[in-house]
Structure 1
Amino acid sequence: MKTAYIQATAGISGDMLLGCLLNVGLPIETLGKSLEKLHISGYRIEHIESSRGMIRGTQVIVHQEENTTHGYSIHDFTNLVQNSDLSEETKSKSISVLRKLEAAEILVHGEGHELHELGDLDTIIDIVGVIAGFESLNIDKIYCSPLPLGWGIINTRKGPLPIPAPATSHLINMSNARVVPPTKEYMEAGELVTPTGAAIITTLASFDPPSFSVNRIGYGVGSRDIPTLPNVISIWLGETEQSLEQNVVSTLETNIDDSTPELIGYVTEKLLASGALDVWITPIYMKKNRPGVTLSVLSTLEYQDKLLSLMLQETSTLGVRIINSNRYAADREIMTLNTSLGNVNIKVKKINDAITSISPEYEDCKNIALSQEVPLYEVFRIVELEARNILGII
């Protein structure tokens, strides 16, 4: 399996990711042909060899002509992608990134807010260019190091904002990405993770540390010269031998016989919202034949302590059992497909790079069934059939 690892020492931005891809071997002509499929004009991409500190890499600059439209909305960008000649994979992932950006902006500013400084052409060029670039390099799996938070204040068209910007903070929070709190070197660095960079990397990458054989390394250079650290990120390309992803997960369990169904339901929802991979309830009989339940929580090691504390605080239990296990997981991704009923997220399962099964997301299908007054089972049938045709699955 072809693997990419992003070492985000100086943060993440769309232009630095593009620089990494070009530096590691993506031909500029291939990038240009991918972007031509958007059918937009009024921009020019410049790529130059540049240095930060003692590290050389590729810097990407997107020049936008003065008479070109500014202030694109998420809806505008989404229409550009949907009406393009890009591959279905690039379309799906690009729309997922745009949806994340929109969700983060709504959390910060509320419904109907304009995209402001994210809304120029360089935003969609960064998003589509990076996603199409990974596809052109035939990368199957992407990992990323923890993201440095940075420190300070950034001035925007709408006034000063804290670093990281609120939209960036929400994007990191929504994805449970790992972060690095600011140290002395980062205190004077300013903004390191941009909203666009955060949306791209949290959509495409996993933040678990990978194990793979490296065969190529590339460097992407940022636009600023930071005194305290080299403004460079790197990409490491290689191969993983295992077709299944392995990690360690924790099962947290406790037996409860003095709680109400309402309280158990509340705790279940809160555990899932706090990072649990899964939560389930098993009916049991306890001492003196008292009916009770076993509350089981599946967690990554990262969230184990947080979920343990929540179980102790929110239930009447006096103790929680923890069992650590090796978990092997098939590769999976969420793709947004444009069906005859509307956009639907599809969970795609892969083994050895081959798609073995697909599953339409229930919430998307439910919303379509309610809004269009179509039986839910029929929505599932139509969406799965069209998804199989789009993805070439028999």
Structure 2
Amino acid sequence: MILGATVDAGAPLEVIISAIDSMNVKGVSITCQNAQRAGLNGKLVEVHLDEQAKRPRSIQEFVDTVEGSGLSETVIGRATAVFRRLEEAEARVHQTPIEGVHLHELGTLDTLVDVVGGIVGLDSLGIDRLYSSPFPTGSGVIKSEHGVLPVPAPATSALMALAKAPTVPAPGGATQTGEMVTPTGAAIITTLATFRQPAMNLENIGYGLGSREARDYPNALALWIGEENGVSYTNELILIETNVDDMTGELLGYAQELLFDMGARDVWFTPIQMKKSRPATMVSVIVSRELEAPTIEILMRETTTLGVRVRPL
């Protein structure tokens, strides 16, 4: 669906097909059509393989194919990183060394086309930063070469875990959704994207459609394209507080400087009374969620606190 979303957003299909041809892969064809999912219009891009192209390949074969092509260094680097992430996830699932990873269904050439085609599509649109909303986990089971597996598939779950990716339930509390995130899609997103929504001026939207018509939600992926505007509107701020009763103003001021230098939005001190009417100071720090760990590290190192309180804003 990533490939379809880039085409719907304006990536030339002929550029993507030319990139695939540059890898000299045989028995592969790509079709693109306008379609709908739950009333949502978008592009359905499908990869078709002949019997020869269905032969399983290894990750190293994919990497060698990409590196031996005439693709740009950016595309080669990103595609290689995606394949290595997929390889790491498969090794985790099967508890085998990376050298012994066997891709099963993911080893056919449609995986190569989906990864490289999606990356070429993003590159042709001039996208240099990619962000993602949390993954919908979905529910139910899928059939695979190994039999019936839970949703998300083990490889998808491993990719999410490797990236510590945020997840959410299926939209509207839908049940028995089937697969909502594929291993290939998860590999691309967890490798190339950051899981937050940036402030940006929206310029274009593309919708990539899945082949399956889902019952309770549109089986589609939305690609929003725009320019980051440098303004941060986020609810991912947290308040970290601690109480200290044995520090001088000079030491507190030094800790405050370190916190501001680290990226704190605000740092302030409040006079308080503790047990037995002891005068003390409450240290309050507002930071973005991603700075929680370094903020706590500074407070534990530079103040006499034995612990902190953390709550969202």
Read off the aligned partner of 2:137 and give its amino acid letter. L
Alignment of 1:1-394 (within 5 A): 16-111=1-96, 112-182=100-170, 185-242=173-230, 301=289, 318-320=306-308
Check conservation: 2:198, 2:232, Cα contact below 8 A.
Answer: no
Structure 2: any 5+ residue segments left out of the alignment?
244-286
Read off the aligned partner of 1:39 and give its amino acid letter. N
Change (3 A) 1:96 1:155: same
Q: 2:185 and 2:78 mapped to 1: Cα distance?
A: 14
Read off the aligned partner of 1:227 and give its amino acid letter. R
Q: Which residue of 1 aligns with 2:261?
A: none
Give the deviation of 1:303 after TM superposition.
9.0
Check conservation: 1:154, 1:160, Cα contact below 8 A.
Answer: yes
Read off the aligned partner of 1:18 and give its amino acid letter. L
Deviations 1:178-205 (A, max 9, x none): 2112465431210110111000011111
Q: 2:66 and 2:52 mapped to 1: Cα distance?
A: 22
Q: 1:153 and 1:323 mapped to 2: Cα distance?
A: 37
Change (3 A) 1:47 1:185: farther
Q: 1:162 and 1:35 mapped to 2: Cα distance?
A: 32
**The residue matched to 1:81 in structure 2 has which SS?**
helix
Give the deviation of 1:37 after TM superposition.
1.9
Give the deviation of 1:92 after TM superposition.
0.7
Give the deviation of 1:113 after TM superposition.
3.4
Check conservation: 2:199, 2:233, Cα contact below 8 A.
Answer: no
Read off the aligned partner of 1:206 and give its amino acid letter. T
Change (3 A) 1:150 1:302: farther
Between the aligned residues of both structures, percent identity stands at: 41
Q: 2:241 and 2:55 mapped to 1: Cα distance?
A: 54
Read off the aligned partner of 1:216 and give its amino acid letter. N
Deviations 1:318-369 (A, max 9, x none): 5226699xxxxxxxxxxxxxxxxxxxxxxxxxxxxxxxxxxxxxxxxxxxxx
Q: 1:34 and 1:23 mapped to 2: Cα distance?
A: 18
Q: 1:234 and 1:180 mapped to 2: Cα distance?
A: 17
RMSD, matched Cα = 3.1
Q: 2:124 and 2:6 mapped to 1: Cα distance?
A: 10
Give the structure with the larger strand fraction: 1
Check conservation: 1:150, 1:189, Cα contact below 8 A.
Answer: yes
Structure 1: any 5+ residue segments left out of the alignment?
1-15, 256-298, 325-394
Give the deviation of 1:219 after TM superposition.
1.0
Change (3 A) 1:213 1:97: same
**The residue matched to 1:187 in structure 2 has which SS?**
coil
Q: 1:253 and 1:53 mapped to 2: Cα distance?
A: 47
Check conservation: 1:81, 1:95, Cα contact below 8 A.
Answer: yes
Change (3 A) 1:178 1:34: same
Q: 1:61 and 1:29 mapped to 2: Cα distance?
A: 14
Deviations 1:103-135 (A, max 9, x none): 101111022131001011100101011111111
Count of residue correspondences: 261
Q: 2:291 and 2:92 mapped to 1: Cα distance?
A: 23
Deviations 1:210-232 (A, max 9, x none): 11111111111110011111111
Which one has the largest radius of gyration? 2
**The residue matched to 1:68 in structure 2 has which SS?**
helix
Read off the aligned partner of 1:159 and give its amino acid letter. G
Check conservation: 1:31, 1:132, Cα contact below 8 A.
Answer: yes
Change (3 A) 1:72 1:300: farther
**The residue matched to 2:194 in structure 1 has which SS?**
coil
Deviations 1:123-179 (A, max 9, x none): 010101111111111112111111100001111011111111111111111112221
